[in-house]
Amino acid sequence: MIDLLPILQQTEIVAKEAGAFIRKERQSFDLNKVEQKGLNDLVSYVDKEAEKIIVDRLSRILPEADFITEEGTGSTNGKEYTWIIDPLDGTTNFIHGLPIFSVSIGLKFHDEVVLGVVYEINFDECFYAVKGKGAFCNGKPIHVSPAKTLGESLIGTGFPYSAFGQIDNYLSVLRLLMEKCHGLRRMGSAAVDLCYVACGRQDGFFEYDLKPYDVAAGIIIIQEAGGRVSDFEMGDDYLFGKKIVATNGLIHDELVSDIQKIWKK
């Protein structure tokens, strides 16, 4: 595997460049330019242009890599390295002028995510990690929280916006957790949620119907911060399996157990 630290440094620059473009466009954003890809699945020219910027820059940094992107820029040809990109995670927040939204860039080597950068634009926070080197935010090491039980935990999640087949199970899980933990939060950007677990602002996070570009960068950042990631069945199909649980590790078994009491495959 190539030396990832120089790649990481350049990827941070790319994420911040795309973030600067997004920040500038938010100042004069026109709601009439919003498109709808599907039920409540929104996109704008900002997402598309930011993705073009990212793919162009990353293609120069690592020409031998494939791309998995939200808006379909780039190509996939079965190469060893694959960039997994969400140019604007939290588009609905962005459209409504509501923080939080972010740029999320992950790099996969074969079947494993080995590099991740998440740039939260509104607070100018850049979270990043490379396998085996720890996790950081704006140059400072970050670590997951020391919470040992759900009873002392704050849990993040995301609300379904188009896949409503599991809505009753989801609401039942929320009710169960409301009675057990300090509270539930919905940021609107899964990438940011994962980073907030990594730096200890949240103790756990779960969501379903997510895409690889929503979670790729956050996965490695949490793992390098000392946390744990699984799917709802305690397995490892969390990148492409659409179901993810991410925690500080200490509450992981308890959180997954509670989800499994209700959730149906």
Confidence of residue 77 (pLDDT cuts 50, 70, 90): low
In whole angstroms, what separates CA 78 from the centre of its chain?
A: 23
Q: What is the pLDDT of residue 74?
A: 64
pLDDT at 44 over 90: no
Q: Which of 88-102, 154-168, 186-200 has the lowest mean pLDDT?
A: 154-168
Helix (H) or strand (E) holding 6: helix 4-26
Write phi, then psi, for 36 (nearest 5 degrees).
-120, 115
111 marked among binding-site residues = no
Residue 81 has pLDDT above 60, yes or no: yes
pLDDT value for 42:
47
209: annotated binding-site residue?
A: no
Alpha-carbon gap, residue 241 to 193, rounded angstroms = 18
pLDDT at 160: 72
Phi first, then psi: give them for residue 203, nearest 5 degrees.
Answer: -95, -20
Neighbouring residues of 56: CB distance < 8 A, sequence distance ≥ 6: none
Task: For 150-262, give the CATH class.
Answer: alpha beta
Angle at 248 between CA 119 and CA 112, to 5 degrees: 60
As a whole number, the mean pLDDT across the chain is: 91
pLDDT at 38: 46
Q: What is the CA angle 7-195-251, rounded to 5? A: 130
Q: What is the mean pLDDT of residues 216-245?
A: 97
237 appears as a binding residue in the annotation: no
The arithmetic mean of pLDDT across residues 213-229, rounded, is 98
> For the chain, which residues make up each domain, given as ranges?
4-141, 150-262
Q: What pLDDT was estimated at residue 34?
A: 65
The gap from C-alpha 244 to its chain's centroid, in whole angstroms, comes to 10
Q: Which is nearest to 249 in space by CA: 219, 220, 229?
A: 229
DSSP line for 155-197: EEE---SS--TTHHHHHHHHHHHHTTSSEEE--S-HHHHHHHH
88 is in an annotated binding site: yes
Q: Does pLDDT of 41 surpass 60? A: no
The domain 4-141 belongs to what CATH superfamily?
Answer: Fructose-1,6-Bisphosphatase, subunit A, domain 1 (3.30.540.10)
Q: Residues, the chain, total?
A: 265
Residue 25 phi, psi (nearest 5)? -70, -30
What tens digit of pLDDT does each residue of 113-158 get?
999 999 999 999 999 999 999 999 999 999 999 999 999 999 999 9
* Cα gap 68→181, rounded to integer Å: 36
CB 225 within 8 A of CB 144: yes
CA dist 44 and 35 (Å) reads: 6
Nearest to 165 by CA among 79, 243, 82, 86: 243
pTM over 0.75: yes
Q: 231: annotated binding-site residue?
A: no
Model confidence at 163: pLDDT above 90: no
Percent of the chain with pLDDT over 90: 77
pLDDT of residue 161: 65
